[in-house]
A and B are shown apart, each in its own frame.
Chain A
Amino acid sequence: MADEYPFEISPMFEGERVRKDDLYIEFAGPKSKGFELVRVAEENEIEDDGFTLIGPDISEMEEGLLYPLGMIYRISGALVEPDLEAIVERRNHDFQNYIQGMMHLNQRYDVWLRISKDMIANGLESLEHIAKATMMLFKNELSFIEKIEAVYITDLEKVEEELTKAMEIYAARDERTKNLHDEDVDNFYGCTLCQSFAPTSVCVITPDRIALCGAINWFDGRAAAKVDPEGPQFAIEKGECLDVIGGEYTGVNEVALKMSGGEYNKIKLHSFFEFPHTSCGCFEVVGFFMPEVDGIGWVDRDYTGLAPNGLAFSTMAGQTGGGKQVMGFLGVGINYFRSPKFIQADGGWNRTVWMPKDLKNKVLSDIPSSIVDKVATQDDVDDLDKLKQFLIDKEHPVVEKWPAKEEEKAKPPEKKADEVGQVAPGPGVFAPTMPLDIPSMIGGGGEGIKVTLKNAKISIDKIIITNKK
């Protein structure tokens, strides 16, 4: 293989680093300018597999130097549309890393590339080889691309000119993504990739709910469904909206029934308690309900401590996942915190009472200012009683729901300690010692039993000897 190219192409080169000593040419990066951009064009505007270079080629470049680089790809096809541009563009990074001897970092206007000396030794003379290899991979993976051509720019002035235009395009895309919501589209996308490990797991990907693994957003789903409508990512026609706040649609329910093999038949996309969206097992965060405060806590995978309910991430995570709908626990990706519809069926952020400090800092900008100080972390509280007090002190919205149930809730903290023993104790929680009823220890007598201790090893911390008076 790779007869046409002077380099090997394989996913095994993905993590390859090109170090300063091995560097032949460096492109873009923080000390220069560069970008990558994919644009949709008309079929007749594109010369399939065409390559245009504006500026010097590799053979004209000096070893060890830094050059600017703009990469523009134009694509056309019956199924191609502007919403897919970003999806195709993101693959440039992956594919160029498949090329042996080449390193591609970051995306968009942050791109940074290096070509190694080995590539030159193996016969690389022109950027055209790289462009053509990349285009070949684009077409092989994304079959909706019928025609593709590349324009690479290494002339600084031209790079800057095109970069300015590109920045506007990126900004427009971001706007569109930000402003696109569930109600604006006709289709959601289902993803069943995880079913190879979690047979009943189906993710429903909407503009307001990205896949919980974080790898696939609505646009990705759309692109994949175009490539292979019968494949693991497929379009879900919304159908009728049965519950706006909860996010329930007839189309989604049908798919849920089918793809979960009958495990469940309803999904409320933005609900915690009712028919929640399922997870496979790779969720970054698990949400858990604390009935004592009628609030929801969140714990992330990297947090090694205990939540106020005395349980650790792994223990609670073990209660959910596996493609099953479980009430009281919910696995989500960190990105779901950013959704404007974040568990809106159950109060969204107003129902959130606790999260680890590091997690809170990660999503700080997404927490409404009205609630941000009212969400406790492990620095504020470490058990339910303290949490209750904290919420009262901060006047957290959940407190308003308490009064009617205040008396019933008074007992739970003690009960919780026993329950901990049954669910799964966290580290450091000892099982209670067996209660023993031995009336007298030494010398026998008393209630007619004699106790003999055989081979007993008794180690005593302290013996206090006092004069008997």
Chain B
Amino acid sequence: MVLKKGRFIIEDLENVQINIGNITGAKVEEEEDKKEEAHGPTIAPGIHGLRDWDRRLLSRYEPVYSPICDLCCYCTYGKCDLTGNKEGACGINMEAHQAREAMVRTITGASAHAGHGRHLLHYLIERFGADHPIDVGPSNIKAPNTQTVLGIRPETIGDFIPVLNYVEEQITQLIATAHAGQEGSALDFDSKALHAGMLDHVGMEVSDIIQISCLGFPKSDENAAFADIGMGLIDSDKPVLLVIGHNVAAVTYIIDYVEENDLVDKIEVVGLCCTAIDMTRYNISAKIVGSMAKQLKYIRSGIPDVIVVDEQCIRGDVLKEASKLHIPVIATNDKIMYNLPDRSNDDINSIMDDLVSGSQQGVLLFDFDKIGELAPELTLKMAPIRKEKGYTALPDDEEFKRLTSSCTQCGACVINCPQGLDIDVAMTAAAGGDLTLFEILHDKCIGCGRCEEDCPKGIPVLDVIEKAAQKVIREEKGKVRIGRGQIGDPEIREEGRNLVLGTTPGIVAIVGCPNYPDGSRDIYEIAEEMLKRSYIVVTSGCSAMDIGMFKDDDGKTLYERFGGRFSKGNLLNVGSCVSNAHITATTIKVASIFAGRNIDGNYEEIADYVLCRIGAVGLAWGAFSQKALSIGTGCNRMGIPVILGPHGPKYRRAYIGNPYDPEKWNILDARDGSSHLMEPAPEHLLISAETKDEALPMLAKLCFRPGDNSLGRMIKLTHYIELSEKYLGELPDDWHVYVRSEADLPLAKKEMLLKILEQEHGWEINWKKKKIIKGPFRRPDVSFQPTNVPGLCKGVSV
């Protein structure tokens, strides 16, 4: 019997489950039996819900604005010149405008992650169902940021819908304040920016948790496998499919298709940027080319046969550059459409024909199944054609000689280079046959291509650099642990002992983009130094990738030398950019696990706890994007200080503590509400450093906290002093400020330091007992309960 079109009646439904998204018309009963109402002081705060906390932070860590442009061009009254803190036509002054600008950047970053999260949530609910449970590994608090901000304890991915609803509403309200004639106070703009930062961590958390739960990513796995990374590892003889971006949804279809059709050995599926990181969390057979800095370089090499893009941090000229080398581009996300035709409803073969023939340079495709099939099949088709023609932008030896010799040393490329690299000097040397300068420059080059924009001779400078550095590039082979996701409760519990006893001096999070001032080796060296000193080093995104590119004399990367557990002297890769939420999440967990704090809708108390007690600091050494700013700002609101690289001041706003001003450094004792003068710990909330050598002692210094016991303080002080001596050449000027008693003094130098305290600072020392009698402005009291919030003090009515 053959079934044709028609109608029939279903007599019986046996064990059929129908998931209903929305019911309109009939009255729907509240399903309250499952969940109690969320309780907490600030459940789902609005823009001014946490304003008090922001004001506390900002009164101590003053916003310092460094305008990148003295003008405001928001409206048609302008442009207005605000130089010298003048007012524009609408009445806004320079200060408020800078704060507004920084806020807008923060909102942009938060939106990128929230948008990514919403897109993922739609897709994953459709594919797996809203009831799909959340699984992040061993954890009592599965979504710490979500719980702290909203009081929601999600158990299924569908539970995140109201979470993103909240984030999106807040973002709309926030961006509305950037309209002409809204907020007039710089401080309140900054409060809104902090709000956006907080929202970012919620959005990121949702994004990562749902993909971890549904796509089989590692769940708090300290033994996450190693992925290969580096241009030198890609087999360019094979067909190469390159994916760039951040949203792994479509890519999983490609990977599945490749596996199911036995193409794993026949095709290289490689990735740039966070999509690469998340690809390897999905399937370890994928390879990572590297960070977003490698984009243009890799395309120009001509190696990719097909490029698939999704969203975020992708160059605006991918289509143009790819077309020049006959590389078809498939865009898969409406954030980036490149003016391409939407062929989601077309037959794959007809799309393929057009792309192979070159009659179309690229397509827009929203159908994941089609993407999954088209991309690999297209790659297989394109590869022989392209390999035969040898399409590459890199000049051959003859052309290289011609190009380098044609340089007139005008310096236009140097002026255009964001790092101000000495391209002209390297060009001269190369023309003379010496490639070493270019080989060194290649790593410092962030692959932006600006050097070419104004060359009077039309030299494709980036191609010259890459051609010259071919030998070095072939050696670019590294290893990185695939993103492990959250930190599990048992690890945190076990590590508690080390944090208390000072065996672990602190936590350093090396995260963010690759706009490094002096090449990618800096963060490798910083990570290595801190790991040797037993700090916990956490990393994510582009930084996680670059850290894995360098090896020691035994040929081992840092990931291979050090374990991946949340414990002293270990190196953890939490994952892609959205995994940064797990860093704030970990600090929230500490507050819950060790201090039994109620976290539901209790943001201020938790952030206060983190600021007073948890010695964690972020380092966004090459931060370039708005996302990096929102991640950093979100950390700031949670009480975690961040150090930026020297491009950092371009974000326009920092949060700097002035240590000489006693009014800024009052802390309350929660036992009785009494006020005390404290040492500047941490001294800053958001600041920049010029060089790696400067950043290292600063990282140690920003790990001091008022809640340190003597063991912890002693070990932190030891490293602050040693790093300052090693990298800056002398004892820091302010080490004594962090000494509360002789028990805080580094053991090996105790005598020498006591002498200095007596001779240079006039302190009184009992030499027989080696005790400090007088000097510190704060007596050590291990039961002192530091807090910045009067409402958390006993005996203080709010």
Contact = CB atoms under 8 A, between A and B. Distances in A.
Contact of B594 (A198, A214, A424): A198
Given A261-B783, A281-B593, A304-B138, 14 more contacts: A11-B533, A12-B722, A197-B496, A197-B614, A199-B785, A213-B496, A215-B497, A281-B496, A282-B495, A282-B497, A313-B138, A427-B135, A428-B133, A442-B9
A1 B749 contact: yes
B782 A231 contact: yes
B494 A137 contact: no
B18 interface: yes
A346 B715 CA distance: 41
Given A282-B493, A425-B155, A143 B31 contact: no
B748 A196 contact: no
Contacts of A2: 748
B432 interface: no
Interface stretch (B235-243, B246-254, B705-713): B705-713
A424 B794 CA distance: 31
Interface string B687-720: 0000000000000000000011111100100110
A370 to B, nearest CB: 32
A125 B601 CA distance: 63
Contact of A11 (B590, B594, B595, B715): B715
Nearest to A315: B140
A10 interface: yes
A251 interface: no
B532 A12 contact: yes
B501 interface: yes
Contact of B499 (A12, A197, A283, A427): A197
7 smallest A-B Cβ distances: which pairs?
A322-B596, A318-B140, A282-B496, A281-B594, A9-B748, A314-B489, A281-B593
A283 B493 contact: yes
B224 to A, nearest CB: 16
B715 A261 contact: no
Where chain A touches its partner, the secondary structure class is: loop
A449 B745 CA distance: 79
A105 interface: no
Interface string A100-126: 000000000000000000000000000
A143 B594 contact: no
A295 B780 CA distance: 44
A410 interface: no
Given A140-B751, A141-B747, A199-B670, A11 B718 contact: yes
15 contacts: A12-B718, A14-B534, A197-B496, A199-B783, A261-B783, A282-B594, A314-B139, A317-B493, A318-B593, A321-B593, A321-B594, A428-B133, A429-B133, A436-B18, A441-B13
A12 to B, nearest CB: 4
Interface stretch (A158-166, A187-195, A354-362): A187-195
B782 A193 contact: yes
B723 to A, nearest CB: 10
B465 to A, nearest CB: 38
A343 B710 CA distance: 32
Interface of A: 1-2, 9-12, 14-15, 98, 136-137, 139-141, 143, 192-199, 201, 213-215, 228, 231-232, 259, 261-262, 280-284, 301-302, 304, 312-315, 317-318, 321-324, 421, 424-425, 427-434, 436, 441-443, 449, 456-458, 460, 465
Nearest to A233: B782
Contacts of A141: 747
A143 B769 contact: yes
B323 interface: no
A196 B10 contact: no
A12 B725 CA distance: 14
Contacts of B709: 193, 195-196, 232
B490 A140 contact: no
Nearest to A16: B532
B97 interface: no
Contacts of B333: none
B597 interface: yes
Nearest to B492: A281
B592 interface: yes
A116 B630 CA distance: 48
Contacts of A284: 494
A137 B783 contact: no
B613 interface: yes
B135 A282 contact: no
B133 A302 contact: no
A431 B156 contact: yes
A456 B126 CA distance: 11
B644 to A, nearest CB: 26
Contact of A232 (B20, B533, B614, B782): B782
B747 A140 contact: yes
A128 to B, nearest CB: 17
Given A10-B722, A199-B670, A314-B489, A192 B783 contact: yes
A427 B532 CA distance: 37
Report which residue of B140, B500, B715, B743 has the largest number of chain A beta carbons within 10 angstroms of its beta carbon.
Answer: B500
Contacts of B749: 1
Contacts of B750: 140
Q: Which of B16, B18, B782 has the most CB of A within 10 A?
A: B782
B334 interface: no
Interface in B656-691: 670-671
Contacts of B496: 194, 197, 213, 280-282
A2 B750 CA distance: 11
B342 interface: no
Contacts of B708: 196
A302 B752 CA distance: 44
B17 interface: yes
A192 B782 CA distance: 7
Given A301-B490, A434-B31, A442-B10, A197 B590 contact: yes
Contacts of B794: 261-262
B548 interface: no
Contacts of B718: 10-12
A314 B748 contact: no
Given A15-B534, A322-B596, A443-B9, A137 B748 contact: yes
Interface string B275-288: 00000000000000
B488 interface: yes
Contacts of A10: 718, 722, 748
B533 A322 contact: no
Nearest to A260: B783
A364 B775 CA distance: 53
Nearest to A452: B25
Contacts of B346: none
Nearest to B15: A461
Contact of B500 (A137, A197, A429, A456): A197
A438 B85 CA distance: 67
A283 B594 CA distance: 10
Nearest to A232: B782
Nearest to A230: B780
A363 B617 CA distance: 39
Interface string B714-747: 0100110010010000000000000000010101
B34 interface: yes
A430 B593 contact: no
B596 A324 contact: yes
Contacts of B783: 192, 195, 199, 259, 261
Contacts of A261: 670-671, 783, 785, 794
A215 B199 CA distance: 40
A196 B493 contact: no
B197 to A, nearest CB: 25
Contacts of B9: 442-443
A318 B141 contact: yes
A441 B17 CA distance: 12
B30 to A, nearest CB: 12
B134 to A, nearest CB: 9
Contact of B752 (A1, A11, A193, A321): A1
Contact of A1 (B532, B569, B748): B748
Contact of B711 (A193, A313, A436): A193
